Amino acid sequence: MDPQAFFWRVMAGELPPPRAVQTLGGRIVRVDAEAGIVETTFQAPDAFANPMGHVQGGFLAAMLDDTLGPALAATLARGQFAPTLQLTVTFLRSARIGLLHGTGRVLRRGREVCHLAGELRQDGEVVASALATALVRQAGPRQAAS
Protein backbone atom coordinates (compact mmCIF):
# COMPACT_ATOMS: atom_id res chain seq x y z
CA MET A 1 0.00 0.00 0.00
CA ASP A 2 1.11 3.54 -0.74
CA PRO A 3 2.69 4.75 2.55
CA GLN A 4 1.16 8.23 2.26
CA ALA A 5 -2.31 6.79 1.56
CA PHE A 6 -1.86 4.48 4.57
CA PHE A 7 -1.35 7.50 6.85
CA TRP A 8 -4.56 9.18 5.67
CA ARG A 9 -6.57 5.94 5.81
CA VAL A 10 -5.49 5.48 9.43
CA MET A 11 -6.49 9.09 10.12
CA ALA A 12 -9.90 8.45 8.53
CA GLY A 13 -10.41 5.38 10.74
CA GLU A 14 -10.39 3.03 7.73
CA LEU A 15 -7.31 1.16 8.98
CA PRO A 16 -5.91 0.52 12.45
CA PRO A 17 -2.76 2.39 13.44
CA PRO A 18 0.56 0.53 13.23
CA ARG A 19 1.14 -2.06 15.97
CA ALA A 20 3.95 0.01 17.51
CA VAL A 21 1.57 2.96 17.96
CA GLN A 22 -1.04 0.64 19.47
CA THR A 23 1.56 -0.76 21.90
CA LEU A 24 2.42 2.80 22.98
CA GLY A 25 -1.27 3.63 23.51
CA GLY A 26 -0.87 6.31 20.84
CA ARG A 27 -3.42 8.36 19.00
CA ILE A 28 -3.13 11.33 16.66
CA VAL A 29 -5.61 13.95 17.85
CA ARG A 30 -4.91 16.79 15.42
CA VAL A 31 -3.18 17.18 12.07
CA ASP A 32 -2.34 20.44 10.31
CA ALA A 33 -0.78 19.12 7.10
CA GLU A 34 -0.18 22.57 5.67
CA ALA A 35 1.84 23.64 8.72
CA GLY A 36 3.41 20.19 9.25
CA ILE A 37 2.15 19.90 12.82
CA VAL A 38 0.60 16.97 14.65
CA GLU A 39 -0.70 16.55 18.17
CA THR A 40 -0.73 13.11 19.76
CA THR A 41 -1.61 11.40 23.00
CA PHE A 42 -0.08 8.28 24.52
CA GLN A 43 -1.36 6.20 27.41
CA ALA A 44 1.66 4.73 29.20
CA PRO A 45 0.69 1.55 31.11
CA ASP A 46 2.34 0.13 34.23
CA ALA A 47 4.36 -2.20 31.97
CA PHE A 48 6.37 0.85 30.78
CA ALA A 49 7.68 1.61 34.30
CA ASN A 50 11.36 1.57 35.16
CA PRO A 51 12.49 0.43 38.66
CA MET A 52 11.65 3.91 40.02
CA GLY A 53 8.07 3.66 38.74
CA HIS A 54 8.51 6.25 35.98
CA VAL A 55 8.07 5.72 32.24
CA GLN A 56 11.30 4.20 30.90
CA GLY A 57 13.10 6.58 28.53
CA GLY A 58 13.07 4.23 25.57
CA PHE A 59 9.29 4.33 25.52
CA LEU A 60 9.35 8.13 25.64
CA ALA A 61 11.79 8.13 22.70
CA ALA A 62 9.47 5.83 20.74
CA MET A 63 6.52 8.12 21.54
CA LEU A 64 8.47 11.09 20.25
CA ASP A 65 9.41 9.22 17.07
CA ASP A 66 5.72 8.37 16.58
CA THR A 67 4.88 12.06 17.00
CA LEU A 68 7.55 13.53 14.72
CA GLY A 69 7.09 10.97 11.94
CA PRO A 70 3.39 11.71 11.41
CA ALA A 71 4.08 15.46 11.31
CA LEU A 72 6.22 14.81 8.25
CA ALA A 73 3.98 12.04 6.86
CA ALA A 74 1.12 14.53 6.64
CA THR A 75 3.17 16.63 4.19
CA LEU A 76 4.30 13.83 1.87
CA ALA A 77 3.14 13.24 -1.68
CA ARG A 78 1.61 10.01 -2.93
CA GLY A 79 4.12 7.16 -2.90
CA GLN A 80 6.54 8.86 -0.51
CA PHE A 81 7.73 7.73 2.91
CA ALA A 82 10.36 9.21 5.22
CA PRO A 83 12.42 6.99 7.52
CA THR A 84 14.06 8.63 10.50
CA LEU A 85 17.81 8.92 10.06
CA GLN A 86 18.60 10.44 13.43
CA LEU A 87 16.61 10.99 16.61
CA THR A 88 18.07 12.96 19.50
CA VAL A 89 16.03 12.89 22.69
CA THR A 90 16.47 15.10 25.73
CA PHE A 91 14.81 14.00 28.97
CA LEU A 92 13.80 16.98 31.11
CA ARG A 93 11.84 15.37 33.96
CA SER A 94 10.38 12.03 34.95
CA ALA A 95 7.15 10.96 33.31
CA ARG A 96 4.55 9.15 35.36
CA ILE A 97 2.50 6.22 34.15
CA GLY A 98 -0.58 7.64 32.44
CA LEU A 99 -1.46 10.15 29.77
CA LEU A 100 1.18 12.09 27.81
CA HIS A 101 0.56 14.73 25.13
CA GLY A 102 2.87 15.14 22.15
CA THR A 103 3.41 17.87 19.59
CA GLY A 104 5.51 17.29 16.49
CA ARG A 105 6.39 19.75 13.77
CA VAL A 106 8.37 19.97 10.59
CA LEU A 107 11.08 22.60 11.08
CA ARG A 108 12.46 22.41 7.56
CA ARG A 109 11.10 20.36 4.68
CA GLY A 110 13.64 19.89 1.90
CA ARG A 111 13.15 17.78 -1.19
CA GLU A 112 14.87 14.88 0.55
CA VAL A 113 16.24 15.91 3.95
CA CYS A 114 13.77 17.10 6.58
CA HIS A 115 14.30 18.41 10.11
CA LEU A 116 11.68 17.78 12.80
CA ALA A 117 11.15 18.80 16.42
CA GLY A 118 8.72 17.88 19.13
CA GLU A 119 8.00 17.39 22.78
CA LEU A 120 6.00 15.27 25.18
CA ARG A 121 4.10 16.92 28.01
CA GLN A 122 2.46 15.65 31.14
CA ASP A 123 0.28 17.94 33.23
CA GLY A 124 1.42 20.86 31.07
CA GLU A 125 5.14 20.28 31.76
CA VAL A 126 7.59 19.15 29.07
CA VAL A 127 9.03 15.77 30.08
CA ALA A 128 11.07 15.10 26.93
CA SER A 129 11.92 16.78 23.65
CA ALA A 130 13.43 15.56 20.42
CA LEU A 131 15.05 16.67 17.21
CA ALA A 132 15.08 14.36 14.21
CA THR A 133 16.31 14.16 10.66
CA ALA A 134 14.33 12.15 8.11
CA LEU A 135 14.93 11.30 4.49
CA VAL A 136 12.08 11.48 1.95
CA ARG A 137 12.05 8.45 -0.35
CA GLN A 138 9.79 7.06 -3.06
CA ALA A 139 8.16 3.73 -2.30
CA GLY A 140 9.18 0.95 -4.65
CA PRO A 141 6.61 -0.52 -7.06
CA ARG A 142 5.78 -3.31 -4.60
CA GLN A 143 4.91 -0.92 -1.71
CA ALA A 144 3.08 1.63 -3.86
CA ALA A 145 0.94 -0.93 -5.66
CA SER A 146 -0.22 -3.04 -2.75
- 140 pLDDT exceeds 80? no
What confidence category does residue 146 fall into, taking pLDDT thresholds of 50, 70 and 90? very low
Mean pLDDT of all residues in 25-38: 96
Neighbours of 134 (CB within 10 A): 25
The answer to whether 102 touches 42, Cβ cutoff 8 Å, is yes
Question: 91-134: per-residue pLDDT in tens?
Answer: 999 999 999 999 999 999 999 999 999 999 999 999 999 999 99
Mean pLDDT of all residues in 25-39: 96
What are the start-end ranges of the E strands in 94-145?
98-109, 113-122, 125-135, 137-138
Question: 36-94: per-residue pLDDT in tens?
Answer: 999 999 999 999 999 999 999 999 999 999 999 999 999 999 899 999 999 999 999 99
Chain-centre distance for alpha carbon 120: 11
The answer to whether 38 touches 74, Cβ cutoff 8 Å, is yes
Nearest to 59 by CA among 73, 70, 49: 49
Q: 114: exposed, middle or buried (C-beta count within 10 Å: 0-12, 13-18, 19+)? A: buried
In the prediction, which pLDDT does 39 show?
A: 98
C-alpha angle 4/26/103, rounded to 5°? 75
Question: Taking the model in full, what pTM does it have?
Answer: 0.92
Give the residue with greater pLDDT, 144 vs 43: 43
Question: 8-24: per-residue pLDDT in tens?
Answer: 899 999 999 999 999 99
